[in-house]
Amino acid sequence: MSTPKKKKNVQAKATASTAAAPEQARPYRLEFYQDEAGNEPARRWMKEELTATQRRALGVSLQERLQQQGIGVCATRYGRQLGDGLFEFRLAESLSEVLRKAGRDIRKGNDDAVLLRVFCHAYGDKIVLLLAGYDKARDPKHGRQQSEIAIARARLVDFKNRHKKT
């Protein structure tokens, strides 16, 4: 009688691990921070300040890396923890390289370097909030980086204050 029990436990364990696999594969949801007026500064930056090449490279990278790994990107060259719930997503590749790594068509790829930073916060059930971003190639100074981090931190504080659980 103990043999069927063992078999049931093995089956139960296999079923539990199989059931857990889809949960682990479920991607993160990306959201844009909204200020009190409903403006989405990170989305506006992407649409208005980035070139078409930069937008495509960033869009594919956000989908292929950040949406799949979430805050786990910080264990790779694509992310860095900044403390207090803030992390940065780093893109430092050409569009051609981004597309090649994603297994996508590169006929219209571009070999110009793309060097972007997006500041994020992970929360809730696999949600990544996009707070701010900038083109590091355009202004690589340390002071600019610190200014952009300060902006992202202020937006994160605003977000947390307006979304406190009551």
For residues 53 and 137, the answer to whether their CB atoms sit within 8 Å is no
Q: Using the structure block, give the residue that is written with the tokens 């110009």.
A: 112
Bridge partners of residue 88, in order along the sequence = 80, 119
Mean pLDDT of 16-20: 36
Q: Using the structure block, give the residue that is written with the tokens 């972007």.
A: 116
How far from the centroid of its chain's Cα atoms is residue 122's Cα?
Answer: 9
Distances, alpha carbon 85 to alpha carbons 71, 105, 160, in Å: 10, 36, 11
d(CA 71, CA 94): 23
Per DSSP, which regions of the chain are E strands?
29-32, 79-83, 86-94, 113-123, 127-135
2-11 pLDDT, tens digit each:
444 443 333 3
Local confidence band at 108 (pLDDT 50, 70, 90 cut-offs): low
Q: Which pTM was predicted?
A: 0.82
d(CA 126, CA 28): 5
